Chain A
Amino acid sequence: MKSIGIGLHLDREDVEPVAKAIAASNLFVSAIDVDDDQPLSDRELLVRVAQTRAKLLERATFIAVRYGFAFRSAAEAESKIVTNAARWRALLEENRTRVELTLKVVASTQQQKPDRNSFSSGADYLRALHAAKNAAVVSDTFKREVEKTIGALCAKQKWIARDAASIEFAALIERASLLKLAPAGESLKRACPDIPFLLSAPWPLEVFADADHE
């Protein structure tokens, strides 16, 4: 039997009985048990983990662990999180009442995604992909509208280049303000009717906990 780690939490009560709570480095790791021979790429397992994530978020805000964290003992889990545990605990305490939202928007100047068959080196292909991603932009007008309508509700916000075709706005919003999000999204749609976007919330701490995006 192995455990699939789902999130990092402040209290045991934030996890149980939705998932198993494993005490590690002054935090609790939420996890579900799966058979050793069950592949992590199993579709049903992916959906089960995603649904458990959603149920955990109903209880309290937590730091999401990117899918793929598997371990066989509390000691192993502890050894994997000990380095960053203090930072993660501080982040959880600071954002206890907040959740993340994301707004994905199609870039106004889309870059052609590089054709992988045109590259003899995988590294060159990845570099070209990265350059295309960073070249994607959205109009300043749309950005201003997002920041005026959605950003005004949020405590923290940032724009992230996602891929060659899309940009993402990520923000932290108080749970108490979530009801204002749908009207704000409608207002944005009216202000920018020609720009398709996907607004979704609530999410656990993902972008704001990920050192890649700091």
Chain B
Amino acid sequence: MARTQEQVELALLDMLDHLLDRGVVISGEAVISIGDVDLLYLGLNIVLANVDTLSRVLDKRK
């Protein structure tokens, strides 16, 4: 049975939701530099998490 456009979009959204919001978190990190000067340190698992994920992380730390 052929999938409708809506079903295809829903499947893609669900797939991306799983990618960004599920699974074990392994710390990633990056330092944004210009020349030899480190400007910003980013914890990638936090930068890429959505706000709801941050909420869960905060709860766990309490």
Interface residues of A (CB under 8 A from B): 5, 7-8, 40-41, 46-47, 49-50, 53-54, 63-71, 80-81, 84, 88, 102, 123, 126-127, 129-130, 133, 162-163, 198, 200, 203-204, 206-207, 209-212
Contacts and interface: CB of A to CB of B under 8 A. Distances in A.
14 contacts: A5-B26, A47-B12, A50-B15, A64-B23, A65-B23, A65-B25, A66-B20, A70-B44, A71-B28, A88-B24, A133-B52, A198-B10, A200-B11, A206-B22
Contacts, number: 102
**Most chain A Cβ neighbours within 10 Å, of B20, B22, B47, B54:** B22
Interface residues of B, number: 31
Contacts of B44: 40, 68-70
Contacts of B12: 47
A162 B17 CA distance: 12
Contact of B26 (A53, A81, A206): A81
A210 B18 CA distance: 12
Chain B at the A interface: SS class: helix
B21 interface: yes
B18 A64 contact: yes
A47 B19 CA distance: 9
B36 interface: no
B22 A210 contact: yes
Interface of B: 10-12, 14-16, 18-28, 30, 44-45, 47-48, 51-52, 54-60
B51 A64 contact: no
**Most chain B Cβ neighbours within 10 Å, of A40, A41, A64, A69:** A69
3 nearest CB pairs, A to B: A64-B23, A206-B22, A68-B44
A209 to B, nearest CB: 5
Given A67-B20, A126-B54, A54 B15 contact: yes
A65 B26 contact: yes
Nearest to B26: A69
